[in-house]
Amino acid sequence: MIKFYLFIIFVLSIFLCGIAVGHYEIFPFDLIQNSKSLILNNFEKEQNNILIYEENIDSLILINSENDVIDKRKTLTNFIWNDQVPYSSTILVDENIVDERYQNLSNLKSIHRLTISMEYSVNSISYLFLPENSNDQLIIYHQGHRGDFINGKDTIDFFLDKNYSVLAFSMPLLGMNNQPIIDLDHFGKIKFTNHKQLQFLESSEFSPVKFFIEPIGVSLNYLNKNFDFDSYYMMGISGGGWTTVLFSAIDDRISQSYSVAGTIPIFMRSDSKNIGDYEQIIPELYAITNYLELYILNSYGDDRIHVQISNNNDPCCFSGNISGIYDHKINERLIKLDKGNFFLYTDYTHNEHKISEYSRILISEHMDNKILEK
């Protein structure tokens, strides 16, 4: 019995000692932290090893003139909408709604809810956050596969506090967006909950890529008619970063676009964690315009820029410092076109799949023109 009590006392002592070391950062706190850093650094080096087999990156870029830009955009538009008129879906606007999750946001005047209905009863629900004090500029914030744009509340709050209006989206089937039951020939009734299922809707008359792009364009048309914003910017994380890349490549009303942990070119995706979701690897789409060309399209134009940020230690995807692999090729082509700027940064400040404070400040400095054009 005495041995049992001694054992309990020993275990409790170790436990309390661990708490004290962590709380007061006493010995051996530094030793533990150094060991942890060494282990993590070795892990990160392994994780960030992007294998590249393509040697002639320049040959993948088939944009050499403004006419090429126009043709690429036209072909992309035809692929997504076929014979339909882009941005023709219906929109319902509920003004001055109350959502308690956002009541503590800085500089918040009101929230409008925008609901857009599309084919197969798929919808998109976005929030327009209007500030008390406005700089007459709007940022589209797009959440990724984590779901609801509530996950981007810190980012929404950051830019509201700087007097920007913010229009926040979630990806199709995620967040507040619905997950309809669709009756498909040969397959039956299926509840759509995952982007991989969207391939069942592909046909010569319809592309599910429309679900990702259409709501943003419809919303911009609404804003044009009802507000007087001087500029439209767009930013997104993960799948929202991908959406930012594709939408701003098609619609040049977006003057500045910012993609965080959103995409890398197909030739850099040998690692399984970098392959991407359904929408990231549609062969028919990227045969029209590959990622390198998309980066040019969303950078090209008077006073237009595209900024790509990778998280060096991102546990999800697209991690590592990828500077010097293709960014110089993009900028060489933009110099030839004589319009637009492309920037690529690596965020070393955290080990998460997110838009960090560092990235928010960096984006804000670009928007405030504190970072000079290349």
Q: What integer pLDDT is reported at residue 6 of this predicted model?
A: 55
> In the structure, what pLDDT confidence band is assigned to residue 369 with cuts at 50, 70 and 90?
confident
> Could you give the percent of the chain with pLDDT greater than 70?
86
Please give the distance of CA 255 from its chain centroid, rounded to a whole number.
16
d(C-alpha 100, C-alpha 102), whole Å: 5
Residue 342 neighbours by CB under 8 Å, 6+ apart: 295, 296, 299, 305, 306, 307, 308, 327, 330, 331, 334, 374
Q: Which of 312, 191, 302, 194 lies closest to 256, judged by CA?
A: 302
Could you tell me where in the chain the CATH 3.40.50.1820 domains are found? 64-367
d(C-alpha 325, C-alpha 281), whole Å: 20
For the cut 80, the answer to whether the pLDDT of residue 7 exceeds it is: no
For the cut 60, the answer to whether the pLDDT of residue 319 exceeds it is: yes
Q: What does the pLDDT average to over 242-256?
A: 98
Q: Residue 130: enclosing H or E segment and its boundaries?
A: strand 123-131
Q: Can you tell me whether residue 235 is helix, strand or coil?
A: strand
Q: What integer pLDDT is reported at residue 209 of this predicted model?
A: 99
d(C-alpha 16, C-alpha 63), whole Å: 64
> In the structure, what pLDDT confidence band is assigned to residue 298 with cuts at 50, 70 and 90?
very high
Q: What does the pLDDT average to over 243-270?
A: 97
Higher pLDDT, 142 or 48: 142
Contact between 220 and 232 under an 8 Å Cβ cutoff? The reply is yes
Q: What integer pLDDT is reported at residue 170 of this predicted model?
A: 99
d(C-alpha 367, C-alpha 256), whole Å: 8
Structure confidence by residue, pLDDT tens digits, 145-164: 999 999 999 999 999 999 99
**Largest interatomic CA distance in the chain:** 87
Q: Please state whether the predicted TM-score (pTM) of the whole model is above 0.85.
A: yes
Phi, psi of 170 (to 5 degrees): -110, 160
> In the structure, what pLDDT confidence band is assigned to residue 8 with cuts at 50, 70 and 90?
low
Q: What does the pLDDT average to over 176-197?
A: 98
Q: At what angle do helices 66-81 and 210-226 cross, to 10 degrees?
A: 110
For the cut 70, the answer to whether the pLDDT of residue 36 exceeds it is: no
Residue 310 neighbours by CB under 8 Å, 6+ apart: 261, 264, 318, 319, 320, 321, 322, 344, 345, 346, 347
Q: What integer pLDDT is reported at residue 54 of this predicted model?
A: 81
Higher pLDDT, 24 or 282: 282
- The arrangement of secondary structure in 64-367, i.e. its CATH architecture, is 3-Layer(aba) Sandwich (3.40)
Q: What integer pLDDT is reported at residue 2 of this predicted model?
A: 67
Q: Which of 160, 142, 125 lies closest to 364, judged by CA?
A: 160
For the cut 60, the answer to whether the pLDDT of residue 47 exceeds it is: no
16-25, 116-125, 182-191, 199-208: least confidently modelled range = 16-25
Higher pLDDT, 4 or 139: 139
